[in-house]
Amino acid sequence: MAKTDLFLKKNLDSSVLFICILASFSLIFSNNNQKIQKFRSTTLDTFSFLYKPFDWLDDQLFLTRKLEVLSHENLKLNLENQILASNKVENERLRDLLKFRKRNELNLVGADILSKGVNSNMSSVLLDRGLVDGIKKNSAVLSSRGVVGKVIFVSNNHSGVQLVSDVDFRLSVKIIPSETEGIMRWIKSDICEVAEIQTTSDVQIGDVVLTSNLSIYFPPNLPVGEVISVYKKSSSSNKVIRMKLFADLATLNQLFIVGEDK
């Protein structure tokens, strides 16, 4: 208690001044007199710089929170757009298949690719369909755009497909509208070559290539590709046709096997 009294005596002047200042500000900011209000306004304007940093900090925190919310919403929208784009591609592929199936009256069995390169010596894929689904060896395999290969082995629930891009794959084809026939083999990427074409054959760039009636395993008139060049080898009397496949072998994910007629 004695220490407290001693402290008050030593700091009496400062304490009284501090109390008076507080009382003055209290009276100023609670008084409705016009002069006092004007003084109050001037004082606030003069010392407004003291609270501006706090306002700036509040604004930055608000903008940071808003940016986080917008980034989250943007991510959600991007994911939804990707899903919609994927659904659009799937829808278009299935619609193309329905048109193709109706036009050709084929029994097509849909299959998903389980793995690629099931045989190290050839370009191939493994599908989730087999004997129980009516699949047989040498059945034609298509994408929604055209021929991609044929079945080379079948188990109860799986089947292996030799793709067009295998170096040993061969296919008897015809070129429309001239009905010129030849043997197709893969060259690179989505480019194939049709050999054994007579020099007198009227084949033009842009002509459509289909499976021919001479094919043993493939039904006739299945879409294969489009002619992109015609030339003649110096060592041969026949023309050579370069064609581009309709099917994109690099993006295969769902295929269709020509099954037994119902």
pLDDT at 198: 83
Q: What is the pLDDT of residues 58-114, one digit of tens each?
A: 666 777 777 777 766 766 676 566 666 656 666 666 666 666 555 556 788 989 999
179 and 243 both lie in a single domain: yes
169 within 8 A of 185, measured Cβ to Cβ: yes
Residue 17 resides in a domain: yes
Residue 147 resides in a domain: yes
Q: What is the pLDDT of residues 112-142, one digit of tens each?
A: 999 887 555 568 999 999 999 989 999 999 9
Bridge partners of 115, per DSSP, are: 126
Domain end: 147, 164, 181, which one?
164
Reported as a pLDDT band with limits 50, 70 and 90, residue 5 is low
Task: Look up tokens 């689904």; give the residue.
Answer: 133
pLDDT at 195: 87
Residue 223 belongs to what domain range?
171-251
183 and 226 both lie in a single domain: yes
Reported as a pLDDT band with limits 50, 70 and 90, residue 231 is confident
Residue 80 resides in a domain: no
Residue 63 resides in a domain: no
- Which CATH number belongs to the domain containing residue 130 in this structure? 2.40.10.340
- Which CATH number belongs to the domain containing residue 225 in this structure? 2.40.10.350
More confident residue, 7 or 216: 216
Top mean-pLDDT range of 8-17, 41-50, 165-174, 190-199:
165-174
| Average pLDDT across the chain, whole number | 78
Contacts of 243 (CB under 8 A, 6+ apart): 184, 191, 192, 193, 194, 209, 224, 225, 226, 227, 228
Total tally of structural domains belonging to the chain: 3
243 and 194 both lie in a single domain: yes
256 within 8 A of 242, measured Cβ to Cβ: no
pLDDT tops 60 at residue 45: no
pTM of the model: 0.61
φ, ψ (nearest 5 deg) of residue 161: -120, 125
Residue 186 resides in a domain: yes
Say how far apart CA 228 and CA 232 lie, in whole Å. 14
How many of the other CB atoms lie within 10 Å of CB of 39? 14
193 and 215 both lie in a single domain: yes
Residue 124 resides in a domain: yes
